Structure 1
């Protein structure tokens, strides 16, 4: 499924009625079946961009296109995985996974689909467990299965592993790559972790600046599974770090903030 993020701009209204620009001319063509990592510092507008792609939030200007059709509302072919699992505590694993499908009336062969994804995410034997009985890693797996059970063509992920410990995060990264290779959907994954971007992505889009814009797009032609100490990936990592340093230095030279201005910017970033 073809996805085009076309010249997206987004500004929020400040309490004093002025427009506060967050995203500027963000243009990202996405190849079908690719795994695109959106990399940028915390608060730069990555989550806002993901909400716009999902049709949850409207851009100030620009468009998102799926198969040459403009996205103006949540799209049936797009699924979203948030930072926190957000499982319903009164439902067990099976019912949490099935919740969205039942809500949409998408119940054809649902039992077999649930069994397939429970097995795929490695939770066989935990089908009747409730969220309070799951570890954070297991809850993330349930949330991932819930996002995938409708067989989306595009999966959006907003730093879904950020709250996991290093070992669990590594396992979840590997499992997501394995599922993506089997299911062949397109992935847009937001992160502020350089290593995560390089380990997982077929492409890395580097966002930065104020307002935020695309600073660099990199293709990573390396087989899976990947190790960050591989020479080719180490060179990519160094290149990205150099680009981030340039952005940081430019931001510092362009903006000498008073305490009041710094606090005001912090509030705006939190809203983004």
Structure 2
């Protein structure tokens, strides 16, 4: 039987609302971490435990958007950027222990490479193609982070197409399925970039703070660090809700 290479259809977001999505990167020793993007497996376990006690279940983004479209609540999106190899060894066992899902955004142009885009290091290995398949076989949603982790807003149209369209084709070859989601490297996107992602066939795109962009191809997320425990996570949740209320009020004003 031929592999299914079609992506899920885009779920419709409820009007004037965007779900809470958390952003992780590497799950390993956070001691040497000049960018504040690493959490230990122990801290990840603590953070997921806090979510469970709040009545929240972590899921991948496609599952999150489908649930929101159906009116379901009690879910939070979990994303892991860059496709570090430690996702399989460190993050995945913690996720499975909690019964949580997630989306990992990988770089098919750097299989088994390292985070050479971080000038301060430290160098961390990235997932191989086999590692990507291992994560997918465990039920993790695989999304694209582009081919090489480049600031897409600075690229020519041809290079942008390679990062968006070609990375989708590469992940389809690796996993047998076309990815539904794209994550903008550095969390940065503009309208041209978002349109390229949409035109490539992705049904959603994740940023950090997408600003004036809105819709399923510009989903905002909340960065999570080693320092985030109960009180800080609660503060970040409240901040997300307040931002969404202000954004919803602004959209209502524009519609009026």
Q: Provide the TM-score with structure 2 as the length reference.
A: 0.38
Structure number with the higher strand fraction is: 1
Task: Compare relative contact order (CA 8 Å, sep 6+) and give the higher one, 1 or 2.
Answer: 1
Structure showing greater radius of gyration is: 1
